[in-house]
Structure 1
Amino acid sequence: MTENQRIAKEVIEAVGGKENIQSVTHCATRLRIMVNKEESIDKEAIENIDKVKGAFYNSGQFQIIFGTGTVNKIYEEVAALGLTESSTSEMKQEFKKQGNVFQRTIRTFGDVFVPIIPVLVATGLFMGLRGLLTQEQVLAVFGLVPADISANFLLYTQVLTDTAFAFLPALVAWSSFKVFGGSPVIGIVLGLMLVNPALPNAYAVAGGTADPITMFGFIPVVGYQGTVLPAFIAGFAGAKLERWIRKRVPEYLDLLLTPFLTLLIMSILSLFLIGPVFHSLEEVVLNATVWALALPFGLAGLVIGGLNQIIVVTGIHHLFNFLEIQLLANTGVNPYNGIITASVAAQGGASLAVAMKTKSKKLKALAYPSTLSAFLGITEPAVFGVNLRYVKPFIFGLVGGAAGGFFGNIMGLEASGMAVTVIPGTLLYLNSQIIWYLLTNIIAISVAFVLTYFFGYSDKMKDELEA
């Protein structure tokens, strides 16, 4: 018996014997075994087997790390003992069925949003740079004023900063259709319907310069620029509906009827049911925020700073443009900005902790740019690409936001403008408040970073999620 044959036999015995094994496959470094009962696995015995570099169990799948090259040889010997083989893609499909509802939901949420993170990172950088370059204080360094900036240049920068978020529902619906087994091109069209220029622009409605269209006398309909959940739900339902229709129409009518019926039904549901529900939610959240801003003893900062990024996840945060405009118009200052900058900075702090702690080059390459984007005021890449995928970093980011928001609120931070936070937002506090503004961000970042680094992330979490 060769050494690898012995190792294969020991592995099978340690995971509970052949009767506890459903199927086996491998990737570049790990032997992956679908098991029936976790309690039948002797993990200590596994880790004492020669050539084993680590092992972990997650939702029905037991993975043994052997390393590149070695795993191929061990797999051949394991398969030779008569176990059922499975392709990696088949096992991934089976793995998706494993775990509790929360685990499966987070995994699926990540599958939908990770592909669109790069363009959100780029857009975040564009927004941050545009915010810096168009500020009066920065222009003054070069002897310029805002009126000196070419209108065509501003238009170009608007194209750079607005496109991804204006058409975000199309990106989300496309990715949702792809993940849930529908036709991505139908998802793109459905998402574009949600932001069709014929509909009142969501940002204009939030800013009070446009009104929703009233359908059937009682349903408010607007465009859904910048939203996430309506497009996600529409993409999920649309993909399932398309598959249901495709199974029931004759093949010779499939090309004609399936996309027609899918888009017709989903456009009605999305514009007249899914969208209006979230539009009504916007009003509830806005009224609740106005109430929270009036809380004493720093509680406004604690509550809003802690909850703001949850609202970002829903995609309805653009409604606060209206609140900030009202605050500036009525009082000349914007205390809301001083609080939410903490929530933004904290998510960047959590993402930075993940970037510095992980040994994965791929995750570092995602987390570092996402962190920079957050520090320039755009948290979507950090939230959807990093923190929310591993849950704890997102939660600790909320804690950091609450801590920073509490401090900023206690110190009475009031911005002189709106729409920029963290690094670009510094330009809104170039007065006696600048020290308190910087400390607010430092506190938010530090709390989120420390909690995430020591308690919120490990590469084991990454391995389990990405199995």
Structure 2
Amino acid sequence: MDGDRRIAAEIIEAVGGKENIVSAAHCATRLRIMVKDKEQIDQSKVEHIEKVKGAFFNSGQYQVILGTGTVNKIYEEVIKLGVESSSKGEQTKEAAKSGSVFQRAIRSFGDVFVPIIPALVATGLFMGVRGLVMQEKILSLFGITPDHVPDNFILFTQVLTDTAFIFLPALVAWSTFRVFGGSPIIGLVLGLMLVSPSLPNAWEVAGGQAEVIKFFGFIPVVGYQGSVLPAFIAGIVGAKLEQQIRKRVPDTFDLIVTPFLTLLVMIFLALFIIGPIFHSVEEVMLHATVAVLEWPFGISGFIIGFLNQMIVITGVHHVFNLLEIQLLEKFGNNPYNAIVTCSVAAQGGAALAVGLKTKSKKLKALALPSSLSALLGITEPAIFGVNLRYFKPFVMGLIGGGVGGFFASIFGLKGTGMAITVIPGTLLYLNGQIVLYLLVNLIAIAVAFILTWLFGFHDKMLKNQE
């Protein structure tokens, strides 16, 4: 039996055998297994299997961390050994039935916003590149100044950087309908209605170039360019309304009546009730977020940098996607990213210290690649495979993240995007911030590394764990 097949067989056995497995799927780094009875899982046995970097039960799935590339090969062998396959989406729907109401709500929130993030990542990178090429030092290499940049080039960059935020409500409504059981195309049209050119443009209203329309003399109506919460709530209500209408309309008329009534009712609710109410709520949330980030003496940076990875392992960190999107839409920058990236880098520094200090070949082979993975922005192998397993390295990583976040806040670092951190995140700080960005990351890594080396790990922990 070759290595990958042997590992696959050992994983199957450790989770209770094929009879305890409902289905298997995989993502970029993890083998995701739906089990009938999680009590049959031998956690220690799984963690000691070759190439396994950690394992945990989350979102109704038993997730075995194997790493990029490796997970694909192991998954193929698991399927060949007779385990039923399923898509990640199918497992997510099944897993959504488990957990508390709060857990299911957070999971649904993440399912809505995660598919939108790649578009916003691309937008952030475009902003970073524009910030780089528009610097006087860079332009001087071509013998020009910012005043000599052609208007057509500025227009071209605006298309790249503004489109996703102009039509953000359409993206949010589309994804929300998809997650909550509606027709995504109806959600997309509803979202586009919220940014219709027939409505006063939200940014022009804010700039005093247009006026809000008052319906019935007291209901303010405006376009919702860049807005998130109104589209999200309208998407939930719209998806549920569509389901109810479809149940009551004869199949013969479903194609005509269901979308007509759904859009008619929802645009009324969205413009006159949901929009005004939740836009105000969104503004309150934004002001509260900005107020926290502006706490003096780097306090907010330390607290967020320290707590971030604790929040990540609970799975509720997707809530912050909404806040990051709001910051980017309102200000064109994201100070939260700079702080969070330090917490990610610090976990990599802690795992690196474990990998260099231990004499165990198995742990060294696990910790060193995991630290590299963290520096690429993926902390799961480092956290679940190394740091959290021995606990103290995880705590030292939290401290390192807090110290790095403190300096990120003191220096006023602000990324041009979201969702990418550490090495990939450098692309968000090309607008004159790159040196300070690298500095705060090095501080976070160094603090976590030194604390872990001195106080956070020794090989006796291996024996104690066993």
Instruction: Tell me, yes or no, if the aligned pair for 1:191 and 1:231 is still in contact at 8 Å.
Output: yes
1:199 aligned counterpart, secondary structure: coil
Deviation, structure 1 residue 31: 8.8
Moved more, 255-264 or 44-53: 44-53
Instruction: Tell me, yes or no, if the aligned pair for 2:342 and 2:404 is still in contact at 8 Å.
Output: no
Deviation, structure 1 residue 144: 1.7
Hey, what does 1:346 align to over in structure 2?
Answer: 339
Aligned in 2, Cα 1:277/1:314: closer, same or farther, shift over 3 Å? farther
Letter in 1 for 2:440: I
Moved more, 346-355 or 105-114: 346-355
| Structure 2, unaligned runs of 5 or more | 67-72, 309-318, 352-365, 380-394, 418-426, 453-466
> How many angstroms apart in 2 are the aligned matches of 1:300 and 1:92?
34
Instruction: Tell me, yes or no, if the aligned pair for 1:57 and 1:63 is still in contact at 8 Å.
Output: yes
Instruction: Tell me, yes or no, if the aligned pair for 1:403 and 1:444 is still in contact at 8 Å.
Output: no
Deviation, structure 1 residue 159: 1.2
Instruction: Tell me, yes or no, if the aligned pair for 1:401 and 1:444 is still in contact at 8 Å.
Output: yes
Hey, what does 2:411 align to over in structure 1?
Answer: 408
Matched, 1:163 2:163: yes
> How many angstroms apart in 2 are the aligned matches of 1:158 and 1:47?
49
> How many angstroms apart in 1 are the aligned matches of 2:96 and 2:34?
14
Aligned in 2, Cα 1:283/1:228: closer, same or farther, shift over 3 Å? closer
Candidates 429, 452, 459, aligned match of 1:423: 429
Instruction: Tell me, yes or no, if the aligned pair for 2:345 and 2:444 is still in contact at 8 Å.
Output: no
Matched, 1:93 2:93: yes
Instruction: Tell me, yes or no, if the aligned pair for 1:350 and 1:445 is still in contact at 8 Å.
Output: no
Q: Deviations over 1:377-422 (max 9, x none)?
A: xxxxxxxxxxxxxxx9xx999957862365237xxx9x9xx98996
Instruction: Tell me, yes or no, if the aligned pair for 2:31 and 2:63 is still in contact at 8 Å.
Output: yes
Aligned in 2, Cα 1:283/1:12: closer, same or farther, shift over 3 Å? closer
* RMSD value, Cα: 5.4
Letter in 2 for 1:317: L
Aligned in 2, Cα 1:222/1:24: closer, same or farther, shift over 3 Å? same
Matched, 1:71 2:78: yes
Deviation, structure 1 residue 258: 0.6
2:22 aligned counterpart, secondary structure: strand
Q: Deviations over 1:205-231 (max 9, x none)?
A: 344444433333333332222222322
Instruction: Tell me, yes or no, if the aligned pair for 1:292 and 1:303 is still in contact at 8 Å.
Output: no
Deviation, structure 1 residue 145: 2.7
Hey, what does 1:326 align to over in structure 2?
Answer: none
Deviation, structure 1 residue 250: 1.0
> How many angstroms apart in 2 are the aligned matches of 1:397 and 1:209?
47
Hey, what does 2:120 align to over in structure 1?
Answer: 120
Candidates 327, 341, 349, aligned match of 1:317: 327
> How many angstroms apart in 1 are the aligned matches of 2:120 and 2:446?
22
> How many angstroms apart in 2 are the aligned matches of 1:286 and 1:68?
42
Aligned in 2, Cα 1:318/1:121: closer, same or farther, shift over 3 Å? closer
Deviation, structure 1 residue 350: 4.9
> How many angstroms apart in 1 are the aligned matches of 2:196 and 2:404?
35
> How many angstroms apart in 2 are the aligned matches of 1:68 and 1:252?
44
Q: Deviations over 1:254-298 (max 9, x none)?
A: 111111111112212222222212332355457668977997666
Instruction: Tell me, yes or no, if the aligned pair for 1:213 and 1:220 is still in contact at 8 Å.
Output: yes
Q: Deviations over 1:53-82 (max 9, x none)?
A: 986544555578993565346537xxxxxx
> How many angstroms apart in 1 are the aligned matches of 2:302 and 2:228?
25
Instruction: Tell me, yes or no, if the aligned pair for 2:127 and 2:416 is still in contact at 8 Å.
Output: no
Q: Deviations over 1:216-257 (max 9, x none)?
A: 333333222222232222222222221111111111111111
| Structure 1, unaligned runs of 5 or more | 77-84, 322-336, 372-391, 428-436, 456-467
Hey, what does 1:145 align to over in structure 2?
Answer: 145
Instruction: Tell me, yes or no, if the aligned pair for 1:25 and 1:33 is still in contact at 8 Å.
Output: yes
Letter in 2 for 1:67: I
Aligned in 2, Cα 1:103/1:285: closer, same or farther, shift over 3 Å? closer
> How many angstroms apart in 2 are the aligned matches of 1:96 and 1:200?
39
Moved more, 211-220 or 61-70: 61-70
Hey, what does 1:325 align to over in structure 2?
Answer: none
Q: Deviations over 1:79-125 (max 9, x none)?
A: xxxxxx89667654322211233433343333333333332222222
Size of the alignment, in residue pairs?
Answer: 379
Instruction: Tell me, yes or no, if the aligned pair for 1:203 and 1:319 is still in contact at 8 Å.
Output: no
> How many angstroms apart in 1 are the aligned matches of 2:286 and 2:53?
52
Hey, what does 1:388 align to over in structure 2?
Answer: none
Superposition map of 1:177-256 within 5 A: 177-256=177-256
> How many angstroms apart in 2 are the aligned matches of 1:398 and 1:245?
50
Instruction: Tell me, yes or no, if the aligned pair for 2:200 and 2:222 is still in contact at 8 Å.
Output: yes
> How many angstroms apart in 2 are the aligned matches of 1:87 and 1:242?
28
Superposition map of 1:452-467 within 5 A: none
Letter in 2 for 1:404: F
Q: Deviations over 1:148-187 (max 9, x none)?
A: 2222222222112111121122122222222222211111
Hey, what does 1:35 align to over in structure 2?
Answer: 36
Hey, what does 2:133 align to over in structure 1?
Answer: 133
Hey, what does 2:22 align to over in structure 1?
Answer: 24
Moved more, 277-286 or 184-193: 277-286
Letter in 2 for 1:426: G
> How many angstroms apart in 1 are the aligned matches of 2:408 and 2:304?
7
Letter in 2 for 1:346: I
2:182 aligned counterpart, secondary structure: coil
Instruction: Tell me, yes or no, if the aligned pair for 1:56 and 1:63 is still in contact at 8 Å.
Output: yes
> How many angstroms apart in 1 are the aligned matches of 2:136 and 2:406?
31
Letter in 2 for 1:182: G
Matched, 1:443 2:430: no
Instruction: Tell me, yes or no, if the aligned pair for 1:346 and 1:401 is still in contact at 8 Å.
Output: yes
> How many angstroms apart in 2 are the aligned matches of 1:296 and 1:91?
45
Aligned in 2, Cα 1:258/1:129: closer, same or farther, shift over 3 Å? same
Q: Deviations over 1:124-150 (max 9, x none)?
A: 222122223234453344332333222
